Amino acid sequence: GAVVSQHPSRVICKSGTSVKIECRSLDFQATTMFWYRQFPKKSLMLMATSNEGSKATYEQGVEKDKFLINHASLTLSTLTVTSAHPEDSSFYICSADPGGAGGAFFGQGTRLTVV
């Protein structure tokens, strides 16, 4: 299957700082990537659709100024959590679409802890 790499896998940051998470498609080009967050024992919640070369599409209720998404190339999308607070602590996961299959391949996820 296609390979999606996410970095870092784990990050701890202080409240008020910003954190950048990278999502790379290693063996295919992805015009579309997806960002999810997942709280313990809960299902995936889609945050936004990242579109190469254009603005991301955010789901209802997701603050676009807090969760900045940049998809500058066909293999890289980044999610920046700005002015992080403890309630932003969560598991963030990206997925990438190798060809219209529905964003079927996930990165390893990033566990963010804001202290």
Q: Tell me the C-alpha distance between 76 and 102, whole Å.
A: 18
Nearest approach, Cβ of 104 to another protein (angstroms)?
5
How many Cβ atoms are within 10 Å of 91's Cβ, its own excluded? Answer: 16
98 secondary structure, DSSP code:
S
CA–CA separation, 35 vs 90, rounded Å? 12
CB of 44 to another protein, least distance (A): 5
Closer to another protein by CB, 82 or 106: give it: 106
Phi, psi (rounded to 5 degrees) for 95: -140, 155
Instruction: Judge whether 108 and 22 are in contact, CB under 8 Å.
Output: no
Q: Which is nearer to another protein, 70 or 109 (CB)?
A: 109
Q: What minimum distance in Å lies between the beta carbon of 34 and another protein?
A: 7
Instruction: Report, in Å, the least distance between residue 63 CB and another protein.
Output: 19
Nearer to another protein, 28 or 106 (CB): 106
**Contact set with another protein (CB under 8 A):** 1, 6, 32, 34, 42-44, 46, 49, 91, 93, 95, 97, 100-109, 111
Q: For another protein, give the closer residue by CB, 15 or 48.
A: 48
Interatomic CA distance for residues 77 and 93, integer angstroms: 12
